[in-house]
Amino acid sequence: MAEFVRLEVDNGVATIRLDRPKMNALNAQVQEEFHDAAQAARKDDDIRAVVIYGGERVFAAGADVKEMAELSYAEMAVKSMDLHRCFNAVAAIPKPTIAAVTGYALGGGCELAMCADFRVSGESAKWGQPEILLGIIPGAGGTQRLPRLVGPAKAKDIIFSGRFVDAAEALSIGLVDKVVPDAEVYDAAVAWARTFVGGPAAALRAAKEAVDRGLEVDLPTGLDIERVLFAALFATEDQKNGMRSFVENGPGKASFVGR
């Protein structure tokens, strides 16, 4: 049984729940537990969408600085690979993922939220990459995922300054996708996740893979990725059900089985 990270499943929606008082600092143990939870969510076919949640008070205020402060270069060279292993496992969950963010999403917390497909933010939440104030740079994807979301100039502004970004600005620049009252963050994320539960799981997985892999390559290569994944879906039951339903009953009436 994990100590700080729980995987809870309810009617097709999984919640990966971080609970390490007081500020959900992402130490080595949390990273390992998050990796294991992400792997479990990936493998469980009954899970159709995933919410990542840090609780009502705080999402995650960053890495455990006390744990890192006296590390040598050689030690961090190893530990940084473990950090990326954790975050990449979250990003690679082949199902729709939504980060439900209250309080602070700073440093590693912001990087963790950016591993999700979508982000729901509380009105009073604060976002940021303040690593520069510690004499370092983001080390769990911040320099790569943030510019892909908000563009390079805005990402440099946030990373170079280390400043906090409020929810309104985060929404306006594309760092978050929805802002709701603080008390409604988790429910809003779960409600969004439930919209995917009855969908065609293989097609959703292929869509996520096509977008994510396509962003890393040139356009012709991305189009080839899309073409192969598109054709592969014609081997699924959901494609047959979806197209037959369209022909017989019109759009939007298909029932999918997830295969």
Give catalytic residue positions: 111, 131
Q: Taking the alpha carbons of 44, 50, 56, 59 in that order, is the dihedral positive or negative?
A: positive
Amino acid at 118: F
Structure tokens at 16: 């990966």
Q: At what angle do helices 201-214 and 219-232 cross, to 10 degrees?
A: 170
